Amino acid sequence: MGRRDFKFIVIGTGVAGRTAATLAAKAGIKTAMVGFKNKPGSAAKARALTNAKVACFHGHARFINAHEVVVGNRHLTADKFLIATGTELIDDKIKGLDTIAYFTPSEVRSLPNPPETVLVIGAGSCGCETAQNLASMGAKVILVEAQKNILPREDKEVGQFMQHCFEVRSQIRVLTGARVLSVEQDKKGNKVATYRRGEETHSVRAKAVVLAAGTKPAIDISLEKAGVKLNHGLIKVSRTLTTSNKNIWAAGSVLGGESSIEKSIYEATLITSNLIKHGKAAVNYSGFMRVTETFPKIAKVGLNEKEARALKRKVRSSLVSLAGVEHAKGVRIGLVKLSTDRGGTMIGATAVTPDADLVAQELAMAVRYGISARELASTPHVAVNWGEAVRTAARKLAKKK
């Protein structure tokens, strides 16, 4: 084959894709990006990339072979590719969902005024953020979750605490252990959802439905034609984020698992550095943070107790409520939970506070650099804020050793 159109093509226009494309173009690599759906802000992003000397193509890309994609009627070739196509919503096999108008979390956030009553299906991070935001704007919100607790990826104490906050402080009606079976629209335009809870079936009505039941990688791009293999429905990547085709990388939320802006930027930067330098730098995810933007915020670093036990790791944990921190001032809402391995080394932490992302900064460092609970407890902390909760929880763990 002759000279290819580009050195590097990025498929997907999220933060990972934009970061990689911009860095590559600045390094003098002939780069293109494919994507750009007709959404608010897309035109501005495309202009910024064009100004950075990235060639932008609108449309859905599909691989033809390992070095070629088709976008509409146009064929584009490249030496290297990055798959950064993000995720798409899971409908959770809800009967009738395709017959009603429903919102995604991003769509409902863009409304100038919220519907009077809203049913939010799914109480993971995105569902909880959406439900509380709508409630703060005056909507009556019903939050439905199929698992036993809301925020099912977090430890149960976190879900239980946040459910109490939602019900008492935000006046959100929370239904856990409730699986939505079907939805339909009545003659008055209300959305009627039927759900099963235990052995009983019930129904609720709302003016609008928000689907936040989860996401899955958006990988309908004919990966098999490029020799890109999957593992349990996810793109299989190495520690350098290369796929089974050594000329194709993947980054961002398309990889599944935990995702964040910071992690996506980190992955894109590492990939582009390897592209420019012909390097083989590997990812190190230790210490990355997952933040849920509710009130209070939730910040989780490393492995929580639930994850550690699922991996059959021996774990010790301690939990401290901010309400019990004697000298703390200001809003005393939340908790801090720390976990160590059998040797007392920090492996994970969760903070639930109004400033959880700030609390978790020192915890991220502790996890990333293998600091022990004893060392964390002996580090001076300010006694009049959440830092005392960190010190107290670490001291409890140090005593358990």
We report the CATH number of the domain holding residue 260 as 3.50.50.60
Answer yes or no: do 117 and 57 share one domain: no
Answer yes or no: do 220 and 207 share one domain: no
**pLDDT of res. 169:** 95
pLDDT tens digits, one per residue of 103-129? 999 999 989 999 999 999 999 999 999
Boundary of a domain, candidates 163, 182, 213: 213
Strands 61-65, 54-58: pairing kind: unpaired
Copy the structure tokens of residue 330: 């200001």
Q: What is the mean pLDDT of the chain?
A: 94
Answer yes or no: do 15 and 58 share one domain: yes
**105 lies in some domain:** yes
Answer yes or no: do 231 and 330 share one domain: no
**246 lies in some domain:** yes
pLDDT tens digits, one per residue of 187-244? 999 999 999 999 999 999 999 999 999 899 999 999 999 999 999 889 999 999 999 9
**282 lies in some domain:** no
Average pLDDT over residues 171-194: 96
**pLDDT of res. 1:** 54
**pLDDT of res. 37:** 74
Q: Angle 261-277/15-26 helices, nearest 10 degrees?
A: 30
**pLDDT of res. 42:** 80
- Domain of 151, in residue numbers: 97-213
**Number of Cα atoms under 13 Å in the Cβ half of residue 308:** 20
Boundary of a domain, candidates 226, 249, 277: 277
- Model's pTM, two decimal places? 0.91
pLDDT tens digits, one per residue of 155-173? 999 999 999 999 999 999 9
Average pLDDT over residues 146-152: 97
- Ranges 31-40, 66-75, 79-88, 130-139: which has the least confidence: 31-40
Three-state DSSP class for 296?
coil
CATH number of the domain that residue 373 is part of: 3.30.390.30
- Which long-range contacts link 222-231 to residues 24+ away (Cβ below 8 Å)? 222/62, 222/63, 222/64, 223/63, 223/83, 225/62, 225/63, 225/64, 225/65, 225/66, 226/63, 226/65, 226/66, 226/81, 227/66, 228/63, 228/83
pLDDT for residue 327 is more than 90: no
Are the CB atoms for 363 and 300 separated by under 8 Å? Answer: no
Boundary of a domain, candidates 158, 182, 213: 213
